[in-house]
Chains A and B, each alone.
Chain A
Amino acid sequence: MSEQAAPRRRNRGRYEGDVPREHYLNVAYGLKSWLLTVDHKRIAILYLLSITGFFAIGGLFAAIIRMELMTPTGDLMSSEVYNRVFTLHGVVMVFFFLIPSIPAVFGNFFLPMMIGAKDLAFPRINLASWYIYTIGGIFTLAAIIAGGVDTGWTFYTPYSSTYSNSAVALTAIGVFINGFSSIFTGLNFIVSIHKMRAPGLTWMRLPLFVWAHYAASIIMILGTPVVAIAIFLIAVERLLGVGIFDPALGGDPILYQHLFWFYSHPAVYIMILPSMGVMSEVIACFSRKRIFGYAFIAASSLAIAVVGFLVWGHHMFVSGQSAYVSMVFSVLSMLVAVPSAVKVFNWLATLWRGSISFETPMLYAFGFLGLFTVGGLTGLYLGTLATDVHLHDSYFIVAHFHYIMVGGAVMGYLAAVHFWWPKMTGRMYSEFWGRLSAGLLFIGFNLTFFPQFLLGYMGMPRRYHFYPDEWQVLNVLSTAGASILGIAYLIPIIYLVYSLRYGPIAGPNPWHATGLEWTTASPPPQHNFETTPTVTEEPYDYSKAIENVAITPGAGPESPPSPAAPRS
């Protein structure tokens, strides 16, 4: 036993084997082999590249926002430009980065592998979803070139439908088209989870990552069509002059808000649920322990997905909606907080008596736990009716949803990148730079967004191009934090790209993790497994994993991993 100790050392000791001779990346070369691929892993790589591109664009807009807000006078650019910048930041980040991020990249890549399938149920629809995403993205980029859009990412009517003089229709069509890529992804996941599981892989043996994606997929297929129709109607109003949301033409602007938030609130859970799935994988692996309360974490994902559909009205407490309706939405919003809390406590309990190591993915997971907790707790101020009246549409909201979306979803995304990078590429990245950027990200993030809670409570409204002088100090702090945050985003791009060529060879299972995806080579072969795996045990059985996997570098794949058939 003692010889097998210190598994944390092993991944820095080089894996002596070589990358497999043939894998999904080198079965075929050339642009055509990528653009016409139906391999879920290659589609995931296509998504990874395009999502990273959109993240860069959205990040650039964020940088411009923070630069402008360094001074209270709004002197860097005109209000027209500023409004377009924050709108595009929101549109690009929400619709083209956050919603597809983990599902389209890591869900696509690993969900079929985790259920022991050769591919998703509908590979061609999967490829179609990437093309739809790309076409939607092109429309949005065209809108940027055509002068941008200035409605805010929420497209509130009647401003968006009648008054705005910007490329609203083009953007709306882009978002509408993009919605179908979510629908296709979600549909593919649900069917695959139902119909494609390997022999022996019962529902209660599914990794929690799969459960989380199942819950997120429910939202994708039920919610996305509703926002699609709402945004489609905006485009129709602008292009054809119908008046469903314009009071001047007899319509009702509040109706739009209902349709929009019916999806867009659950959409937050599309962003956060997959991230929670990543947390369960990472925390179990790096504390080398069975996940605590497996069934409760799985059930809480479904609870979030279901109750999440019943809380949209909490975005409208000051919109003039009936106070009694607000009361119902308030109590339901409180209920949705509970399953999130349950998850956090279960992850903490997983650490208890574990054997914890601090590789980069785990550092991101720790960051997630801290930031998501703050984000979730500050959500309670906004579900509470009286405090929401004061905080609504202030920087408090901005800080709150960035704690959820960046602190939760992006942290989860980066944890996933670092956890599965060796599997996707077959190479290890630099652990030093990984940890450094995780630390920087945590510091930079808090410095950027914590001051915004204070600004919000003092009353600074969101989407303001200039603001009263007394709020400058906190805004400067926030901008300083954003510059650190920017660096922390750039470093991984450098060392990850560097690792593709110069990184040490990872071997099939560098973290000695459980899960079917780790039983195959890195990078995986084209059809994922040499033979269809059979599952005989519950997930996250780290007692077996540590005994059966030889720790000596290079000896990994020879010893028989327990859950699946051995590979050569």
Chain B
Amino acid sequence: MNGSQLPPLLPPSASTVSGELDLLFAYITAISVFFAVGIAVALAVLAVLYRRKPGDGPPPQIHGSTALELVWTVIPLLIVMSFFVWGTDLFFRMRTPPIEPLEIFVVGKQWMWKIQHQEGPREINELHIPVGQPIKLTMTSEDVIHSFSVPAFRVKQDVLPGRYTTMWFEATKTGTFHLFCTEYCGTEHAGMGGSIIVMEPNEYQVWLGGGGAGESLTDAGERLFGQLGCATCHGDQAGARGPSLTGVYNSEVSLAGGGSVTADESYLRESILEPATNIVAGYDAIMPTYRGQISEEGVLQLVAYIRSLGDPAAAGATGAAAAGEAGQ
């Protein structure tokens, strides 16, 4: 099926899902071509066979055929259901990250992508990643809706203000690939792109060492945590005015209003920016909002620091999978 497409008309296929997605695309294309060509040919043949000729009387008036209607209702239905089943199966696999992905944080703003690696390096409009390693992006926007799209990997995810969305991919080829913003975001929307640079793991390690500012994301978060005086209330001592943050990441937190919530990235972010929305049981709503005082990147650093308190190895794996499953 794929052979009927001209090779230069296909985008590079460079991720673990791109091959199967192309196959699904080819499957739908094969059936579509069959029907489109079939209908065009039928149209042409009917038009020639039954063209009006001099001396023709009125044609027979045919009312229809329920059997035929049934056939051309059921067959298309079965075909589209096969699209649905395959497409949904692949979609769920495309959304569920494998365990222990390499986590990278992305902030979109008009009109650039700001990227922070765990180890510290930050980049703008470029993302360096190692080949053969699942990458999970946790993304948010400072202003309007953007969308992080890498055609070569066949992945795309909207990046929303006010919440985190995640996506994952695993590159299978080294090279430089297009990164686009695909959700219209204003004047320089077309310029809000860049490159994904896929490197061999050892080159990536070299790049990490040489390219960054040195301070890891967790360290930056810890510094910010200290600057803002968070420890005054969120210390580990008994009787503190705020809940302890050790081991809080990905744990079940009971809420003051009843019910509970998993303290994932989104909850931590909300608790920093809108502390009063979901208060932990047993505490008063005394924490001021930090909205406007911390940038989205700062929030990500704080979240990374809070994640590092406690036991991220055990909690991170299952939590990430669960978050991906639920579709965030």
Contacts and interface: CB of A to CB of B under 8 A. Distances in A.
Given A356-B46, A458-B11, A163 B88 contact: no
A8 B52 contact: yes
B10 A458 contact: yes
B90 A386 contact: yes
Contacts of B218: none
A163 B73 CA distance: 47
A477 interface: no
A384 B28 contact: yes
A439 B69 CA distance: 31
A6 B52 contact: yes
Contact of B76 (A151, A338, A383): A338
A2 interface: yes
Given A369-B43, A377-B32, A331 B58 contact: no
A5 B51 CA distance: 13
B185 A2 contact: no
Nearest to A324: B327
Interface stretch (B145-153, B219-227, B257-265, B310-318): B145-153
Interface stretch (B124-132, B158-166, B201-209, B278-286): B158-166
B88 A387 contact: no
A500 B66 CA distance: 45
A331 B50 CA distance: 39
B91 A158 contact: no
Interface size for chain B: under 10, 10 to 19, 20 to 34, or 35 or more residues? 35 or more
Q: Is the interface of A mostly helix, strand, loop or mixed?
A: helix
A541 B189 contact: no
B274 to A, nearest CB: 8
12 contacts: A6-B52, A158-B144, A288-B52, A289-B59, A290-B61, A352-B50, A355-B59, A356-B46, A356-B52, A385-B91, A386-B90, A393-B184
Given A356-B52, A357-B51, A390-B154, A380 B62 contact: no
Given A253-B160, A287-B50, A296 B187 contact: no
A289 B72 contact: no
Closest 10 CB pairs of A and B: A459-B151, A247-B162, A384-B87, A385-B91, A323-B327, A293-B64, A386-B90, A377-B32, A464-B190, A334-B80
Given A342-B72, A383-B80, 19 more contacts: A79-B188, A83-B184, A152-B184, A287-B59, A289-B62, A320-B160, A338-B73, A349-B64, A351-B46, A356-B52, A357-B51, A373-B40, A380-B80, A385-B87, A386-B21, A388-B87, A457-B10, A465-B190, A547-B58
B123 to A, nearest CB: 20
Contact of A457 (B11, B55, B77, B183): B11
A467 B178 CA distance: 11
A248 interface: yes
A559 interface: no
B7 to A, nearest CB: 12
Interface string A541-559: 1110111000000000000
A357 B61 CA distance: 17
Contacts of A317: 91
Contact of B50 (A2, A353, A468): A353
Interface in B22-46: 24-25, 28, 32, 35-36, 39-40, 42-43, 46
A79 B25 contact: no
